Amino acid sequence: MNPAYLRLSSISFSYCLGTAACAYFTVLLQKNGYSAAQVGAINALNSFITIIATPFWGMTADKFRSIRNVILVTLCAGIPLWTLIPASLTISLGPLSLMFIVVPLSCFFRNAHPSLVDAYIVRRCDRDGLTYGYVRLWGSIGYTLASLGFSVILPHVGVEFSYYGYGLLTLPFMILMWKFKDPDISASGGERKVLSFRQMGFGRLFKNYYFITFMIFALFIYLPTTTSNAFMPYLMASVGGESAKFGLITGLKALLEVPALFFMRTLRRRFPLPVMLAGAAAFYSVEALLYSGASRMTHIVLIQIFQGLGGGLLIGSSANYLYSLSPPELTSTAQTMNGAISATAAILGNLVGGFLIVLLGIRRFYLIISGVLLFALVFFAATLFVGIKILNKKLPSGR
C-alpha cells in the first residue's frame, strides 16, 4: 500500500474518531434542562468565538508555514478544556455556571481543527498525487464507528462519558501528527520560513470572484445545515426517539458519506467541482423537506441517505474547490475562512432556529430550512452563469 495514502488515511480516521465524541453538546444541555432557545443562544456564542479563532489559527499556520505545529498546539489546550465541560455545568460563578468560560475557551482552541486538518490533507494529496475523497472516506468510517459505539454505551453510562471519550480517542491523532515530522509546506515549495503579513497578501483572496461567491453560497448552505444538526435531538424527541442515541443518527450519516467520497475521482472526471457543490445543496434541501414530514424514528433514519450523499459531495468537493481558488501561500487561511463562514451561519441559525422552533414547531422549522437550501442552489447557479457568460472568468477545475 502507498505509504503516503496509509499515513493520510490514518490521520483522517483517527481525527474523525475523536470528533464523533463532540456531537453531544446539545444532548448534554437538553439533559440539564436547557430549552431550544437557550441551546441556540449558547451555540451562537460558541460560533462567535469560532469566527475569531478559525481564521486566526489559519493565518498563523500560513505565516509560520506549518499546519502540523498549529494543530498540535491547539490540541494540547483543547483536549483538557473539552473534558472539563460536564463538571463545569455543576460549578456556579454567581448567576452563571463555569461552563460559560470553559466552553468558549475550548471552542477557541478546537473549532479550527476541521479546516486545518482539511487543509493539511488536501495539500498532501495534491503533493503525493492522491485523491482527497479516497483519503477522507476513512474519516467518515472512523466517525461512524465511534458514533455507533457511543450510541450503545451512552444510554448506560450517561452522555457525560462522551467528553472523557474525546480525550482518549483524540490521543492517537495527536500522536500521529507528532510522529509525522516530514516537511509541512504551508506555502509553495522551497525552504520553510516565517512569512510577513505583507508577503502573504491576504487581499488576493478577496479579489477572486469565485472565492467571494463561494463564501456567500457557503453561508446559505451552512446556515440551515448546522442548525439542522444542532436541533436534531428535538426532532428525535418529537417522534419518541431517545436523544442519547443521537450518535446512531450521526454515525449513519457519516457512513453514508463514504459512497460519494469513494466515487469522487469518477465524479470529478464527469462533473466540475461547482456542479457537485450544487448537487450537495439539492440533496440537503430534499433531506430537510423530508424531515418536516417525519413522524417516526425509522423515517429519520431513512432520510439520512440524503444527508450522507449531500455531506459526501460537500466534503469531497468544497475542500478541493477552495484549494484551487487560493494562492499557495494562503491555502490554510482560505480553508479556515470557510470554517469562519460556517460559524457565522451557526450564530444566525442557532439564534433564529431556537425561536422558530418555539414559535412554529420543529416541522415547520425544517420546512424553512429546505427553502433556504433551495435558494442557495439557485444563487450559486446564478453566480456561475454570471462569472462564465458575462464576466468571462474561467471556471476553476480544481487541483
Give residue-wise pLDDT tens across range 369-394: 999 999 999 999 999 999 988 988 88
Q: Is the pLDDT of residue 199 over 70?
A: no
Provide, rounded to the nearest whole percent, the portion of the chain with pLDDT above 90. Answer: 21
| Rounded mean pLDDT, 132-161 | 86
Q: Residue 194: its pLDDT value, please?
A: 59
- Percent of the chain exceeding pLDDT 70 equals 91
Give pLDDT tens digits for 312-366: 899 888 888 988 888 777 778 888 888 888 888 877 877 788 778 878 888 888 9
In a domain, 295, yes or no: yes
User: CATH code at 50?
Assistant: 1.20.1250.20
Instruction: For residue 324, tell me if it sits in a domain.
Output: yes
- DSSP H or E stretch at residue 93: strand 92-93
Is residue 398 included in any domain, yes or no?
no
Residues 119 and 71: beta-carbon distance below 8 Å: no
pLDDT band for position 183 (50/70/90)?
low
- Lowest-confidence segment of 38-42, 88-92, 179-183 by average pLDDT: 179-183
**Angle between helix 113-128 and 297-325 (nearest 10):** 60
> Cβ atoms within 10 A of the Cβ of 183, count?
11
Residue 213 lies in domain: 13-190+203-390
Spatial contact of 120 and 184, defined as CB atoms under 8 Å apart: yes
225-237: burial string, b at 16+ Cβ within 10 Å, e else: bbbbbbbbbbbbe
Per-residue model confidence (pLDDT) at position 1: 63
Instruction: Single out the residue of 266, 303, 282, 278 nearest to residue 385, CA to CA.
Output: 278
CB atoms within 10 A of CB 393: 14
Q: Is 142 helix (H, G, I), strand (E, B) or coil?
A: helix
Domain contains 6: no
How are the residues of the chain apportioned to helix, strand and coil, as percentages rounded to the nearest 5?
80, 0, 15
Cell matching residue 17: 474518531
pLDDT bucket at 91, cuts 50 / 70 / 90 = confident
The closest alpha carbon to 173, from 299, 317, 16, 297, belongs to 16
Mean pLDDT over the full length of the chain: 83
Task: Give the model confidence (pLDDT) of 269-284 as tens digits.
Answer: 888 889 999 999 999 9
1 located within any domain: no
Cα within 13 Å of Cα(7), Cβ side: 16
The pLDDT score that the predictor gives to residue 398 is 53
Helix and strand totals (H; E) in the chain:
19, 2
pLDDT for 272 equals 87
Specify if 3 maps to a domain.
no
Handedness of CA 255, 256, 259, 260 (dihedral sign): negative
Residue 339, CA distances (Å) to 192, 335, 346 in order: 25, 7, 10
Number of domains in the chain: 1
Asked if residue 347 belongs to a domain, the reply is: yes
- Residue 212 banded pLDDT, cuts 50, 70, 90: very high
pLDDT band at 187 (very low <50, low <70, confident <90, very high): very low
Residue 197 in domain: no
